[in-house]
Chain A
Amino acid sequence: MTAVPDNATPPAPDAAAAAIRVEGLTMAYGDFVIMRDLNFTVRLGDIFIIMGGSGCGKSTLLRMLVGLKAPAAGKVFYREGSLWDAPPDARHAILRRTGILYQSGALFSSMTLAENISLPLSQYTALTRGEIRDIVSLKLALVGLAGFEDFYPSEISGGMCKRAGLARAMALDPDILFFDEPSAGLDPVSAHNLDELILELRESLKATFVVVTHELASIFAIGNNSVYLDVETRTMTASGDPKEMLANATDPKLRRFLTRGQE
C-alpha cells in the first residue's frame, strides 16, 4: 500500500498499468489438467475477482499467483518480471509486496495476534519495538479489533480470526492483497462489512485486490474486473467487469452462475 498522492486518480486500464499479467497458464496435478490457456490482466487498483463453480481450480490459481505452486505451463508476470522464472531470492522480493488472507485466517496458533502481525515486521523491517507495537495496534484497529493484541487465535471467533488474518496480510503495507474466499463462514452482515472494508482499503491504500470467491453478492458489490473459470471446458470463458458480464453474457452456463441458477 505505497500510496503516493500524485497517483490518486484511478489508473487507466492499459497494459502498462498491469499489476499481474497471466499468460497461457495451465494448471495440473500430475497428468490431470484442471485449467488450461488462462490469459488475463489484473490492473493496478483493481478489485479482481476469480470466480467459478466449486472445484474449478480457483484456489489453485491463487496458489500459483502467490508462489505456492508452480504452473504446469505458462507465465505469471508481476511488474518486476516473471514470477516463476525468477530466482528464489527475487521471487521472495516480489512476493513480499503481496499479502494473503487465507480461507480460515491461518494465524499461527502459538502466537498472540500482536505476535502474528509483528512477525513479518520484525523480520523484514528495521523498525524499533515501539514502532512495531504502534503499527500492530493500527492494523488491528483498521480491521476493528483494537485491544485484542494479547489474544491467541483459539480465543477469538472465526470471523475475528479472519479479520486478524487480514491485519497480518496488511502488515508489510503490500501493493497487492490476495483473498481466498473472504466471506466463507461469515454471517451476511460480517461478509458485507468485510466487503466495505475491502472497498475502503482500496480507496485509501490504492492497493490492488485479487479475490477468490463464488459469493455473488460480493462479486457484484466489490468487483470491477474478473475472470470466470468454467469447470467443464477447463478454461476461462469470460473476463471483465462482473456487472457488465451479467448484462451482456450469452453463455448459458455463465448466466446460470451469475444469477444463482435462476436463468
Chain B
Amino acid sequence: MTRAAASRPRADAPTRSLVVADGVLTLTIAGSWRMDQALPALDPVRQALEATPPPKTLAFACAGVTGWDSLFLTQCRAILALARQRGVTADLAGLPDGVASLLALAEKVPERQGAARTTAHAPFLDRMADLGIGSVQAVHNLLEFLGEVTLAAVALVRGKAVFQRSQLTTLIYQASIDALAIVSLISFLVGLILAFVGAIQLSQFGAQIYVSTIVGIAMIRVMGAIMTGIIMAGRTGAAYAAELGTMQVNEEIDALKTFGFSPTQFLVLPRMIALVLMMPLLCIYADLMGVMGGFVVGVFMLKINPIQYLTHTWQSVPLANFWIGLVHSTIFGVLVAMAGCYRGMHCGRSALGVGQATTSAVVTSILAIVIATAILTVACNIIGV
C-alpha cells in the first residue's frame, strides 16, 4: 500500500506555515495530523531555523489542529531537536493539550548512554577469536554433559538415580508404540525401493531370487537401524529438545535444581533409557517391515514363490548381520537421546532458543548417525564380520 493510495484528499489536510517577526519564529499548524495523511516536509522549518540571524524563540500556534496522533509527536520532536541544535528556545505553550506533557514524558528518562547498538562489524581477528572461544566453550559444555550423563548412569546402576518411574513408562510408550506407524510405513517403502532397484539389474541375468538377499542384507545389517535412527531423531529427539528447552525457558529446570534433584538424572536419564531400550526393538520391527517390502516386489512383480523368497532370505542372510544391526540401533539410540537432551538442556531462554535447540538436535542426531555408521562399517570390515 503506497502513501498516496492511503491518503484520500480531505478537507482537513495538515498544513504548516511559518512567520518570523521580532526574532520569534511562529509555526501555525492546522488540520488533521494523523498517520493516514501525508505530512508537510520539514525542510522549510529547518531553513527558517538555520537562517542568519537565527530566530531567538520558536512558538507554536495550533488553534486549527483538528486531530493528532503519534506522527504529530514525532514531527514536534524533530523540530524541537533542530531548535535545540541551533540554540533556539522553544515555547511549548501553543501546542495542543497533552502534546507538551507527552513530549516532557518522553524526555523524562534520558537515553541510556551506550545502550544503542552499533552495527559496525567487529574486526576479522576479533570474530575469529570469538569463534575460537565459542568452540572451546561448546566442547567444554559437551564434555560436562557427557560426564553428568555418565555419573547419572553410574547412579542408575547403583540404584540411586532419582527419577519418576511413571514418567519412564510414558516415555517408553512414546518412543515405541507411538512410533510404530511411521516406522512401518518408511521401512516397508525402503524395502520396496531396494527391491525395485535390485530387480531391474538382477532380472537381466535371470537372478531375480537374489533380490531377497539384497533386501535382507541391506535392511537387516544397516538400513533398518539407520531408518529408525533418522525417524526417531526427527520425532523423538526433536521432541526431547523442545520439551527440555521449554522447561528451561519456564525455569522448571531451575526449580528441579533448587529442590535438589539432578536434572540429568531426573530428565535426561529416563529419556536415554527409553530410547536405548526401544531403538533395538524398533529396529527389529523395521527389519521385518523392510523384508516385507522386498517380499511384495519379489512375489507380485518378479513372480517368485512366496515360500521360496522367505527361505532364501533366511538362508542367504548370515545371522551376524542381525547382531550388527542391533549394535547400530543401540548406539543410535544413545546418540539421538543425547543430542536431543543436550540441546534441550543448553537451550536459550526464549521461543527463539527453543526453535534453535530443536533444529540443532535433529541436525546433530542425523550427523552423528551417519558418522557412527561410517565408523562402524569400517570397524566391521577390519574385524571381518
Contacts and interface: CB of A to CB of B under 8 A. Distances in A.
A146 B111 contact: yes
Nearest to B355: A110
Interface string A1-43: 1111100100000000000000000000000000000000000
Contacts of B111: 141, 146-147
A206 B68 CA distance: 12
Nearest to B100: A204
A189 B352 CA distance: 31
Interface centre among A1, A109, A110, A200 (most CB of B within 10 A): A109
Interface stretch (B101-109, B174-182, B305-313, B363-371): B101-109
Among A125, A131, A204: residue with most chain B CB under 10 A: A204
A206 to B, nearest CB: 7
A48 B70 CA distance: 24
Given A3-B97, A127-B35, A141 B67 contact: no
B97 A8 contact: yes
Q: Is the interface of B mostly helix, strand, loop or mixed?
A: mixed
Interface stretch (A64-72, A74-82, A149-157, A241-249): A149-157
A141 B117 contact: no
Contact of A204 (B7, B36, B62, B99): B99
A134 B77 contact: yes
Interface residues of A, number: 39
Contacts of A197: 105
A90 interface: no
Contact of B74 (A135, A145, A148, A170): A135
Contacts of A128: 3
A127 to B, nearest CB: 6
Contacts of B2: 126
A207 to B, nearest CB: 10
Residue from the set B5, B70, B117 with the largest chain A CB neighbour count within 10 Å = B70
A214 interface: no
Contact of A3 (B3, B7, B98, B348): B98
Interface of B: 1-3, 5-7, 34-36, 62, 65-71, 73-74, 77-78, 96-99, 101-102, 105-113, 115-117, 348-353, 355
25 contacts: A2-B69, A3-B96, A3-B97, A4-B66, A108-B351, A125-B35, A126-B1, A126-B5, A126-B7, A127-B35, A131-B71, A131-B74, A139-B70, A141-B105, A141-B111, A142-B106, A146-B110, A146-B111, A147-B115, A153-B350, A173-B69, A173-B70, A200-B101, A203-B98, A206-B98
Given A2-B34, A147-B111, A173-B35, 18 more contacts: A1-B69, A5-B62, A8-B97, A108-B351, A126-B5, A134-B78, A135-B74, A141-B105, A141-B107, A142-B105, A144-B108, A145-B109, A146-B106, A147-B113, A147-B115, A152-B350, A203-B101, A205-B98
